[in-house]
Amino acid sequence: MRISMVSEHASPLAALGGVDAGGQNVHVAELSLALARRGHDVTVYTRRDDPALPDRVRTDPRLEVVHVTAGPVRTVPKDLLLPYMGELAEGIVEDWGQEPPDIVHGHFWMSGLAALDAARQSRAEGRPVQVIQTFHALGTVKRRHQGAEDTSPSERLVLEAMVGRSADRVVATCSDEVFELKAMGVPGGRVSIAPCGVDVDLFTPHGPAEDRARAHRIVSVGRLVPRKGMDLVIRAMRALADLGRVDVELHIVGGAGSSTALEDDPEAQRLRALAVDLGVADRVVLRGQVSRAEMPAVLRSADAVVCAPWYEPFGIVPLEAMACGVPVVAAAVGGLVDTVVHGSTGLHVPPRDPAAIAAAISDIVGEPAWARELGDTGYRRVKARYSWSRIAADTEKAYQAALTDAAPAGPATARRSAARRLESTGGRAL
């Protein structure tokens, strides 16, 4: 199949850990590569945010990233990108020329708008393209949790529901999202589930682990935004000290790329001040951004990885921790309910509950043999369910379903034969 991915703000080539660079970048990069390795031709369209970027970057024989000029050629917060989606669609259609792909897959609601727009233009020229949508995060959920702090454009809720209802198929990443999509009016019959995955060759239990300064270490990884709940983990450090455990250090990973930039990051400053206030600053380390290559050694150094978000559309970090054989303490929200199995691969805690986080950490560091069991089971779960090759196969099924559904509708001989081609190869592209 020929597949176009649209990821307006989240380039697969970007460094991770900044305010707008996290799971979606990883998802688009890894899914695209896994699909390319299954024999599909994949092009990722993302917004040009730096004049130095080349027009096209080939990262694999079957995978190319195309930078489309849409809006100012500099970093723009994602919540300000809506006005440029028309331009992005134009750039995509221009690149397709006479040969549009079989599938255009939008990532995030704004990319969905550009994908639908591009497909509409192509259909109008008699060249059909099926539109698949993955939201990664939903405005309804964000609004519920962030209220007035939500900086999304006011049109988001209406446009997002429109994208969900107009796409030929929506790929949800977890069961929680399926319920939300239903509430938005997306017909259940057009929703597939394909979770996010993890690079099981990079994230493994075997390999170097960083040294610790104390007997035990907890690691939390995420963009430094309030909803990731890093402050709750710092509060848990205080609660742990009150339980008599001062032999645990907390490493918080994410945020600006360098320690000087971290000094200018208001969220980093807020977290640091909180640690000082609570008297735990001597054992809370703000690491800033850590590269992909270094991340496994950081995760392996932990007794447990703590994920304490207020809400979490999916959450790739727990998978990375489990792939490294490390137990996860996770707030029981969103995708974390599916990925972490309570008492088996880690522990669930109620959201926004530092005392519960502290109790869970205390249980895990107090029972190393049990902690090892949790880590081993997590590793096996990830290997069995969350490799990107498996996720790509699930996603391919959603593509196939869209092509098959479209086949009887019109003069879609090409679509029909693409669907048949896939059926006859058991889902593998020729």
Region near ligand UDP per CB under 6 A, out of 115-123, 216-224, 373-381, 409-417? 216-224
295 binds ligand UDP (CB under 6 A): yes
Nearer to ligand UDP, 202 or 407 (CB): 202
Half-sphere exposure of 171 (CA within 13 A, CB side): 28
Distances (CA, A) of 368 to 34, 156, 372: 36, 47, 6
Query: Count of residues for the chain?
Result: 430
- Residue from 191, 239, 290, 330 touching ligand UDP (CB under 6 A): that is 290
Q: Report the distance separating Cα 237 and Cα 130, nearest Å.
A: 49
118 binds ligand UDP (CB under 6 A): no
* Chain position carrying tokens 């990885």: 305
- Residue from 6, 9, 11, 23 touching ligand UDP (CB under 6 A): that is 23
Region near ligand UDP per CB under 6 A, out of 74-82, 106-114, 221-229, 422-430? 221-229
Region near ligand UDP per CB under 6 A, out of 33-41, 140-148, 218-226, 355-363? 218-226
401 binds ligand UDP (CB under 6 A): no
330 binds ligand UDP (CB under 6 A): no
- Residue from 12, 22, 100, 296 touching ligand UDP (CB under 6 A): that is 22
- Tokens coding 327: 């137990």
Binding mask 245-284 for ligand UDP (x = CB under 6 A): --------xx------------------------------
16 binds ligand UDP (CB under 6 A): yes
132 binds ligand UDP (CB under 6 A): no
Identity of the amino acid at 412:
A
Region near ligand UDP per CB under 6 A, out of 63-71, 269-277, 311-319, 338-346? 311-319
- Residue from 292, 383, 385, 421 touching ligand UDP (CB under 6 A): that is 292
65 binds ligand UDP (CB under 6 A): no
300 binds ligand UDP (CB under 6 A): no
Nearer to ligand UDP, 129 or 262 (CB): 262
Q: How many residues contact ligand UDP, by CB under 6 A?
A: 20
314 binds ligand UDP (CB under 6 A): yes
Region near ligand UDP per CB under 6 A, out of 152-160, 312-320, 337-345, 394-402? 312-320
φ and ψ at residue 369, rounded to 5 degrees: -65, -45
Edge-first strand listing for the sheet containing 216-221: 284-288, 248-253, 216-221, 304-307, 328-331, 346-349
Nearer to ligand UDP, 118 or 224 (CB): 224
Which of 13, 74, 22 lies closest to 222, judged by CA? 22
- Residue from 6, 8, 14, 17 touching ligand UDP (CB under 6 A): that is 17
Nearer to ligand UDP, 24 or 345 (CB): 24
229 binds ligand UDP (CB under 6 A): no
Q: Report the distance separating Cα 359 and Cα 211, nearest Å.
A: 24
Contact positions vs ligand UDP (CB under 6 A): 16-17, 22-24, 26, 221-223, 253-254, 289-290, 292, 295, 314-317, 320
